[in-house]
Amino acid sequence: MNSERHDLREVLLTTNPEFHDLASQHHQLEDRLHELTAKPHLSEPEQVEEVTLKKRKLQLKDRMEDILRRHRRP
H, E, C per residue of the chain: CCHHHHHHHHHHHHHCHHHHHHHHHHHHHHHHHHHHHHCCCCCHHHHHHHHHHHHHHHHHHHHHHHHHHHHCCC
**Is residue 14's pLDDT more than 60?**
yes
Q: Please give the Cα distance from 66 to 50 (Å, whole number).
A: 24
Residue 53 sits in which domain range? 3-71
Confidence band for 3, pLDDT divided at 50, 70 and 90: confident
Distance of CA 1 to the CA centre of its chain: 15
**pTM score of the predicted model:** 0.87
Domains identified in the chain, total number:
1
